[in-house]
Chain A
Amino acid sequence: MLEARGIAKAFGAHEVLSGVSLDVERGELVSIIGPSGCGKSTFLRCLNLLEQPDRGMIRIEGVEIDRDGPQKRWTRADEAQAHRLRAHVGMVFQSFNLFPHRTVLENVIMAPLAVKNVPRAQATEVARDLLDKVGLKGTADRYPLTLSGGQQQRAAIARALAMKPAVMLYDEPTSALDPEVAEEVLAVMRQLDHDGMTQIVVTHDMRFARAASDRVLFLDHGRVVEEGDPDVMFAHPSDERTRRFLRSVL
């Protein structure tokens, strides 16, 4: 359902991604790990075109963006295609990025109202169900900054889910949280996995990556070094670099 081929991205002279590919099946939970600066966040942000890849191809739910043609400029047509692609992708950020001037409920219904023209009553009903599901019953009318970090991140997940995405992207969703609070968020992600959601998680949490993932991708210097079953990779990393990285973080 998601296919990324040869994604390359440079910031100026510095090449961050040098041809990263990934295939994700429906319902899979894929963790992307690697040392800081390995390009894992950039890769994730390329998947929903928050960063525009210099080369490569992305196809999600049949919507394809191909950057390998002669046209290198990011055109209006590309932007329109990105818009179509993002309709299938939800994203959760390390710093939550809730809209502080809107209540939690308004945060969740804003995009359905503005982008999909869902009737307000219907959007509100869906939003309340989602807030319920992520354990935020009773916070609908509060402003984001009155919530704890863990609550904010769960609200952000509910906000992304309100757009009914086919795949959810998480960019270090628990890095800004205390471990016990992080667990609330990870629990929600496990529940979603259980419900069949497709998820891609960039994370530093090796315990979560190993226990919850169907597959792990290890990135270093903008390349996929190793990819596979978490138990196999964590127990018997085949590449020296993976071994060194896991030793340093575990």
Chain B
Amino acid sequence: MSIRIQEADFDLAAELAELRAGDPRIGALTSFVGFVRDINDGNSVSEMMLEHYPGMCEKALAEIVSAAKARWEIVGVRVIHRVGRLQPGDQVVLVAVTSAHRGAAFAACEFIMDYLKTRAPFWKRETTPNGAHWVDARESDDSAATRWTPDGHRQ
């Protein structure tokens, strides 16, 4: 498993190629990439600042990936989350999962993303024409994370 928190952008194709390189067990690779949107809750966003809790963030992500590995037979996982100042259209997060068959890769990728949204200590502050403000957590994110059962099914 590879977990990185960084200010720099990432090369999506290169990251995915590296994740599956040299492992013929892999029959499936799924990836999710999140971007900064230019509109949030009706306001135009000119900049997004991402803050994190160094140390706890890496630990929380490692625990989430371990939980995914306990539920599904997956081969490799790569998580990259950017911090610092980002602009609309920028890549924010990558979650990529490899497995022998597609079912595990699809499910684990979504599971990791759902838990990242509610368990990993990152915070967004967006700048709009009305000024800068911290983004409120969404209840829909909490319900997305709690729909997963311990044996790897969605409720």
Do chains A and B stick together as partners?
Answer: no
- Hey, which bits of chain B sit against chain A, CB under 8 A? none
**Which residues from chain A sit less than 8 Å from chain B, CB to CB?**
none
